């Protein structure tokens, strides 16, 4: 996609778990994200192969992998496993891979889905991709915040729960503006 000589490409957000990988994609302008799909994990090589296919098919230029830090900010066993997966992904994919603090993204996704009255059965099938969208929204907000700071604007409340609540409610906001 080209506009004014600039290539516009998507960012992919990942919520990497032991059984599944939730995938979210941004729009080409990198303004909003959407849950995309969930991969059932079958093995690192196959998982990476599937992700590489999405990167190619959806023209992804950056991958944001949620890093499950402990509440105190330290890295536990899960975070180390995700970092190992992210490193393997970096070696196999054409797009750069970055990690992003995902503390409370699954909790925020669960609360948002419950408040939207999504059934327990349906939540099971979408929670990982919704969590990936929350992770990606956090990263997109960070990019906007950096842009706002460089233009002299102050950042708003960008908590994971506010992002999730507004996403499920379908509220439209100006970049960086959350209740």
In this structure, is residue 47 part of a structural domain?
A: yes
**Separation between Cα atoms, residue 179 and residue 166, nearest integer Å:** 8
Name beta bridge partners: 101.
Answer: 67
In this structure, is residue 176 part of a structural domain?
A: no
In this structure, is residue 177 part of a structural domain?
A: no
In this structure, is residue 175 part of a structural domain?
A: no
Report the domain count for the chain.
Answer: 1
> pLDDT of 49-99, one tens digit each?
999 999 999 999 999 999 998 888 888 899 999 999 999 999 999 899 999
**Separation between Cα atoms, residue 106 and residue 166, nearest integer Å:** 15
Q: Would you state the pLDDT for residue 110?
A: 67
Q: Would you state the pLDDT for residue 134?
A: 87
> pLDDT of 7-41, one tens digit each?
568 999 999 999 999 999 999 988 889 999 999 99
In this structure, is residue 117 part of a structural domain?
A: yes
In this structure, is residue 174 part of a structural domain?
A: no
In this structure, is residue 178 part of a structural domain?
A: no
**Can you give the CATH number for the domain in which 68 is found?**
3.30.420.140
Q: 160-163: long-range contacts (C-beta < 8 A, 24 or more apart)? A: 160/103, 160/104, 160/105, 160/107, 160/108, 160/134, 161/104, 161/108, 161/111, 161/112, 163/108, 163/134, 163/137, 163/138
**Separation between Cα atoms, residue 4 and residue 97, nearest integer Å:** 26
In this structure, is residue 42 part of a structural domain?
A: yes
Beta strands in the chain (DSSP E): 2-3, 6-7, 10-16, 20-26, 33-40, 60-67, 97-101
How far is C-alpha 139 from the chain's CA centre? 7
Question: Is 168 within 8 Å of 139 (Cβ atoms)?
Answer: no
Name beta bridge partners: 65.
Answer: 14, 99
**Separation between Cα atoms, residue 8 and residue 3, nearest integer Å:** 7
**Separation between Cα atoms, residue 104 and residue 102, nearest integer Å:** 6
pTM: 0.74
Structural domain including 14 reads: 2-169
**Separation between Cα atoms, residue 10 and residue 61, nearest integer Å:** 6
């Amino acid at each position: 996609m080209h506009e004014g000589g600039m290539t516009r490409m998507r960012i992919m957000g990942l919520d990497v778990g032991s059984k599944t990988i939730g995938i979210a994609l941004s729009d080409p302008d990198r303004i909003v994200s959407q849950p995309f799909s969930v991969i059932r994990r079958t093995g690192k090589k196959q998982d990476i192969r599937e992700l590489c296919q999405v990167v190619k098919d959806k023209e992804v230029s950056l991958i944001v992998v949620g890093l499950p830090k402990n509440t105190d900010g330290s890295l536990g066993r899960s975070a180390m496993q995700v970092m190992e997966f992210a490193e393997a992904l970096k070696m196999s994919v054409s797009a750069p891979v970055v990690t992003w603090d995902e503390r409370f993204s699954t909790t925020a996704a669960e609360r948002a889905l419950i408040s939207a009255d999504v059934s327990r059965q349906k939540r099971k099938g979408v929670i990982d991709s919704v969590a990936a969208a929350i992770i990606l929204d956090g990263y997109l907000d960070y990019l906007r915040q950096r842009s706002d700071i460089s233009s002299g604007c102050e950042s708003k409340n960008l908590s994971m729960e506010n992002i999730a609540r507004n996403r499920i409610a379908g509220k439209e906001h100006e970049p960086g503006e959350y209740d």
